[in-house]
Amino acid sequence: MTGTAAGFQNVEHLLRELTPQVVGALTRRYRDFAASEDAVQEALLDALAQWPRDGVPENPGGWLYRTATRRLNDEMRSAMARRRREEQIASEEDLQVAAMDEGFEPDQDDTLLLLFMCAHPALTPVTAVALILRAVGGLTTREIAAAFLVSETTMAQRISRAKQTIRDSKVEFVLPSEQERTQRLEAVLHVLYLIFNEGYASTTGDQLQRVDLSSEAIRLTRALSESVTDYPEVRGLLALMLLTDARRAARTDPDGELIPLDEQDRTIWDQQLIAEGTSMVAKAMSDRRVGPYQLQAAIAALHDQAPTTELADWPQIQALYRVLESMNRNPMVGLNLAVATAMAEGPDAGLLVVDSVASDDRMKEHYRVHAVRAHLLERAGRKADALESYRRAAETTANLPERNYLLRKMARLRKSL
Amino acid sequence: MKFMMMMNLPRGTRDYEISQWPPEAVDAHFRFMKDLNKDLGKAGEFVDVQGLTPPSQAKIVRYGGGTPIVSDGPFAESKEFLAGYWIIEVATRERAYEIAARVSSAPGPDGKPLVMPVELREVMCSPLPEDA
């Protein structure tokens, strides 16, 4: 093992792959997910300190497992001693924690079990995201905190409260029943998609210091798609991620500023990812159990295959958004439908769709409504109205790169008045 | 030592004033800020930077017994508003002045320095570090 940065990265990747196996094996043995996961995180930090320096042990999974077991035993002993001091009830036998020489027995279902557990319905999605990244993704608390731009203490607290919630809910570390399975899978997919989007939305900032959340989400979803083969939405989501990630190199300028789809240099889109994602979504859809992720992936594929934005198959995209909206009445889908309608039928038709989205009180002042309306008004040549909508969008967005983008748009439009 | 460096902008216009600048001036201004942040990062002086949504979106909240009392804010009479802030960590006070002056020199609509007032406040230290 070398001490080079590349060597260090290999250690990190190895640890991320091993983490769910070790957390799973420990949880199965001790029936305490929260404590097991803590112990593995400690072992992970030990490995990060030692392996790059001393070399990767021959059986890295076993090493992690043993180290985490030792950590867990220490923790259990001191917890029992504490309790004995407090309650005077425990006897020596309580200290007979599991023998150390039991081997590391990974189970291929563990990643899936952990995903189900961490995407627990009692947790808020934001919390579930953090927990999955640590327990299944094998990231350190520090890395997760940095990825979400919060302090390490805050993130540690968030994760520990999440585990307390899971503990309180008394959920078993077993696969959900058939009836529950679809719902729980949907929750897992939702969280994985959130992780992906977090990575996608936050490409600004110091990238060197931040874990690449999009790649982590793709890795986890790929693992999920290998163990769940009977639910087409899993492959739909993976395809969506791949087809979106294919544009990565083109979506920011050297300064990290976002470049919108219609201004991206399509020649640097990743054709291999596009091919993989496209055939994946086609295969998923051939199952005839279409869902929102497959539809969004199909839309992404149409964009990825188009030589320019104008030349994309907009009638087809519009049709897909219509189906999507019928499944999932979500104002954001409505806005995308508005854009597709404008491209297929002209800006005025699109503006009608925007109006119907804005008739929802919660959406009336949403910056995306203003931004889409501004964009369509500009296309329709109604510059003064467009300017007003851009202004309202810039005022209401809470995203700095987005706001700067809108301000630039305004400056250009004003000049052309 | 840590400082909070606050960028205050004049109120009065309904729009973000910058949107009325020529596009090249807008680009130059954003580039200036980006370079500044990059340099602070390289120098190890960068802690945090945040832009804030404009005052039209602000709320004033008061304790109201049970439910919080929320009103639109801030007070209309204030002439300036806080547009954003940095937290920097620097070796000396003079260095903080230097950085604040650089912020103040950000280019305006005509490409010349805006010379906007930058408020600099030292952040009070948390308790002594454990190893002190």
Q: What is the pLDDT of residues A328-377, one digit of tens each?
A: 778 889 999 999 999 999 999 999 999 999 998 888 888 899 999 999 99
Measured between beta carbons, the chain A residues lying within 8 angstroms of B40 are none
Token pair of A46 as six digits = 């030990």
Of residues A393 and B8, the one with the higher pLDDT is A393
Least confident of A187-196, A208-217, B47-56, B96-105: A208-217
The answer to whether residue B32 is domain-embedded is: yes
The answer to whether residue B73 is domain-embedded is: yes
Sign of dihedral through CA atoms A172, A176, A177, A179?
Answer: positive
For residue A403, is pLDDT > 90? no
The answer to whether residue B52 is domain-embedded is: yes
Do residues A53 and A136 lie in contact, with contact meaning Cβ atoms separated by under 8 Å? Answer: no
User: Closest Cα partner for A11 from A41, A42, A40, A53?
Assistant: A53
The 10s digit of each residue's pLDDT in A187-209 is 999 999 988 988 876 644 444 44
Domains, chain A, in order of start with CATH, read: 332-417 (1.25.40.10)
Which A positions 230-269 lie with beta carbon below 8 A of chain B?
255-257
CATH of the domain at B41: 3.30.70.1060
Chain A closest-CA separation from residue B26 CA (Å)? 7
For residue A234, is pLDDT > 90? yes
Nearest CA in chain B to A397: B53
The answer to whether residue B47 is domain-embedded is: yes
In this prediction the pTM is: 0.79
Nearest to B19 among A255, A391, A400 (CB): A391
Domain that holds residue B103: 2-122
Q: How many CB pairs under 8 A join A and B?
A: 47
Please state, for a pLDDT cut of 70, what percent of chain B lies above it.
87
- B59 in contact with chain A, both atoms CB, cutoff 8 A: no
For residue A46, is pLDDT > 80? yes
B53/A395 Cβ within 8 A: yes
Chain B closest-CA separation from residue A388 CA (Å)? 9
Chain A closest-CA separation from residue B88 CA (Å)? 16
A411/B53 Cβ within 8 A: no
Measured between beta carbons, the chain A residues lying within 8 angstroms of B26 are 407-408, 411
Measured between beta carbons, the chain B residues lying within 8 angstroms of A400 are 51
B56/A414 Cβ within 8 A: no
Query: DSSP code of A210?
Result: S
B26/A408 Cβ within 8 A: yes
Long-range contacts of B123-131 (CB under 8 A, 24+ apart): B123/B1, B123/B2, B123/B3, B123/B4, B123/B87, B125/B1, B125/B2
Q: How many domains does chain B divide into?
A: 1
Checking ipTM against 0.95, whether it exceeds it is no
> What does DSSP say about strands B118-122 and B2-10: parallel, antiparallel, or unpaired?
antiparallel
B16/A394 Cβ within 8 A: yes
pLDDT, residue A413, reads 94
DSSP string, A139-186: --HHHHHHHTTS-HHHHHHHHHHHHHHHHHHT--SSPPPHHHHHHHHH
The 10s digit of each residue's pLDDT in A363-397 is 888 889 999 999 999 999 999 999 999 999 998 88
